Structure 1
Amino acid sequence: MEAEHPRHLVIVDDEVDILDVLEDALTLEGYRVTPLRRGRDLLDLLERAPVDLIILDLRLEQENGLRVAQQVRERSPIPIMMLTGKGDETDRILGLEMAADDFLMKPFNLREVIARVRALLRRSTELSVTPRTLSAEPQGGLVFDGWQLNLSRRQLFNPKGEAVELTSGEFNLLAVMVQSPNRVLSRDVLLERTHGRETESFDRTIDVLVLRLRRKLEENPKAPRYIKTERGMGYRFEASVSQL
């Protein structure tokens, strides 16, 4: 682990036992962990200190975890892993659509939590895939129709030169698609390249991230120009892509 500069994780859960278990496990892994019981305390902390990753319970006492995640997302692209004890796929889809980068059901295995934390942190700082279509790794980034995707800084700029805020999950998916333009990529392939081979994420994860990306990229998300749906197959990024 990073002994000199440990990554700062914040856990928000109103169950003290969950907070204690996660704090102990992640501290032993070398992370700096701040446990909180209220979402509003998280929002206050974000004003004062840098945070690398948030683990947030969906069902907070007297608070809506989804709303807290959305408020975080309005301020920052910090990776968010949401926890819930309810096995309803609708909650997972809603959480991903609103703000989350990953979702873990209670009760959970601590080794899985640690593995997912590592994966989210890794994906938030570097691409987990190797470019397959372009011959050499782009130094500055990739360009399509005036849009610029800076892989090293993990930023997207629109044709006006304005930065477009992307979550970690959105950026990773867009990077995978832009690096394989005009090719059909199945949901399974996209899940593997963005979440890893051992992910337990579900098919709708990709669909929800595509929905979010279309809202930010497309002039008309219902008639997308770039991210095309290939019925029964997956998605295709349609554009001429070049290196900066």
Structure 2
Amino acid sequence: MTKAKRIYVVDDDDEIRTLLKSYLEKHLFTVFSADSGEAFLADFRPEQEIDLVILDIMLPGQDGFSICRALREQSHVPVIMLTANSDEMDRIIGLEIGADDYLAKPFNPRELLARMKAILRRMEQIEVSHEPTQHHDSPRLYHFANFTLDTLSRELHYQQEKESLSGADYNLLMLFLDNPGEVLTREHIAENTRGRDSAPLDRFIDVHVSRLRHRLREDARHPQLIKTVRGQGYILTASVRVEEHVD
């Protein structure tokens, strides 16, 4: 029997928490909830095996951005952020600090469910790809240009520097590293990194790629690693060498 997915809803709106708990339980999810970020962090433990967190940005006390940052210090659990602000900057900041997707309020629970399922499917595919019976049975090191990506720590190494990548930036970089020399359309990028079943917002994808370029020390006007293919999408031009991670 398939184990029910465990969802944690963090929102100070009692009505939204009640609605989501009822709706998601009808779709066979196990739902936990908290009315503040502090209460959530006090209760959350990696060993709880939470499968996904739905996190409101406008929370009393610490806002959702701060909570997401704190969560990323101890877990890579997928996060969908809820925002009442239609400003694109909120969405960009959410991805920057490690969220996997966002949804503007008011939202249709069916759309939220679709996004959740897409993200959970992607996570299951990642887990399967790391099972011992598969070719990629252990963490790996991806070497490209002057960089090394460690999939165990999710750290990007450049010369003597290293930085941890957010869930969104890590997923986007992995997509390019697994498809070097191939043109990736915006639709393909959206489907494989954001867990979206609907058409992507081109501007949003462009901003996401631009931010990854910044992490790769690219010249914004003349990028060399990730190039734009006009009318098609983006391509990673560097060759990629992969090796098994050795502790």
Does the C-alpha gap of structure 1 residues 137 and 230 become closer, same or farther in structure 2, counting only changes over 3 Å? Answer: farther
Does structure 1 residue 67 correspond to structure 2 residue 66?
yes
Whether the 8 Å contact between 1:97 and 1:208 is mirrored in structure 2 is no
Moved more, 226-235 or 53-62: 226-235
Does the C-alpha gap of structure 1 residues 235 and 87 become closer, same or farther in structure 2, counting only changes over 3 Å? Answer: same
Deviation at 1:59, TM superposition (A): 1.2
Distance 2:149 2:189 in 1: 21
Does the C-alpha gap of structure 1 residues 48 and 123 become closer, same or farther in structure 2, counting only changes over 3 Å? Answer: closer
AA aligned to 1:185 is: L
Does the C-alpha gap of structure 1 residues 47 and 139 become closer, same or farther in structure 2, counting only changes over 3 Å? Answer: closer
| Residue of structure 1 in register with 2:10 after alignment | 12
Find the residue that maps to 2:44 and give its secondary structure.
helix
Find the residue that maps to 2:85 and give its secondary structure.
coil
| Residue of structure 2 in register with 1:45 after alignment | 43
Deviation at 1:104, TM superposition (A): 0.8
Does structure 1 residue 194 correspond to structure 2 residue 193?
yes
AA aligned to 1:41 is: A
Deviation at 1:214, TM superposition (A): 4.2
Whether the 8 Å contact between 2:57 and 2:82 is mirrored in structure 1 is yes
Deviation at 1:52, TM superposition (A): 2.1
AA aligned to 1:44 is: A
Normalising by structure 2, report the TM-score.
0.75
Deviation at 1:234, TM superposition (A): 3.3
| Residue of structure 1 in register with 2:33 after alignment | 35
Q: How many residues align?
A: 233
Deviation at 1:139, TM superposition (A): 5.4
Percent identity reads 35
| Residue of structure 2 in register with 1:133 after alignment | none
Moved more, 197-206 or 33-42: 197-206
Find the residue that maps to 2:73 and give its secondary structure.
helix
Deviation at 1:57, TM superposition (A): 0.8
Distance 1:24 1:197 in 2: 23
> Where does the alignment leave 5 or more consecutive residues of structure 2 unmatched?
none
| Residue of structure 1 in register with 2:86 after alignment | 87
| Residue of structure 2 in register with 1:147 after alignment | 148
Deviation at 1:103, TM superposition (A): 0.7
1:115-126 equivalence runs, <5 A: 115-126=114-125
Superposed CA deviations along residues 46-99 of structure 1, whole A, max 9, x for unmatched, are 247532211011111344222222222233222110112232223222222233
Distance 1:193 1:53 in 2: 17
AA aligned to 2:33 is: P
Distance 1:170 1:125 in 2: 19
Distance 1:90 1:142 in 2: 32
Whether the 8 Å contact between 1:53 and 1:78 is mirrored in structure 2 is yes
Does the C-alpha gap of structure 1 residues 236 and 198 become closer, same or farther in structure 2, counting only changes over 3 Å? Answer: same
Find the residue that maps to 1:75 and give its secondary structure.
coil
> Where does the alignment leave 5 or more consecutive residues of structure 1 unmatched?
131-135
Find the residue that maps to 2:9 and give its secondary structure.
strand
Does the C-alpha gap of structure 1 residues 228 and 154 become closer, same or farther in structure 2, counting only changes over 3 Å? Answer: farther
1:127-142 equivalence runs, <5 A: 127=126
Superposed CA deviations along residues 151-191 of structure 1, whole A, max 9, x for unmatched, are xx79567489x996444433332222112212332323311
Does the C-alpha gap of structure 1 residues 190 and 18 become closer, same or farther in structure 2, counting only changes over 3 Å? Answer: same
Deviation at 1:10, TM superposition (A): 0.9
Whether the 8 Å contact between 1:147 and 1:159 is mirrored in structure 2 is yes
Does the C-alpha gap of structure 1 residues 199 and 164 become closer, same or farther in structure 2, counting only changes over 3 Å? Answer: farther
Whether the 8 Å contact between 1:142 and 1:241 is mirrored in structure 2 is no
Deviation at 1:242, TM superposition (A): 4.1
Normalising by structure 1, report the TM-score.
0.76
Alpha-carbon RMSD across the aligned residues, in angstroms, is 3.5
| Residue of structure 2 in register with 1:100 after alignment | 99
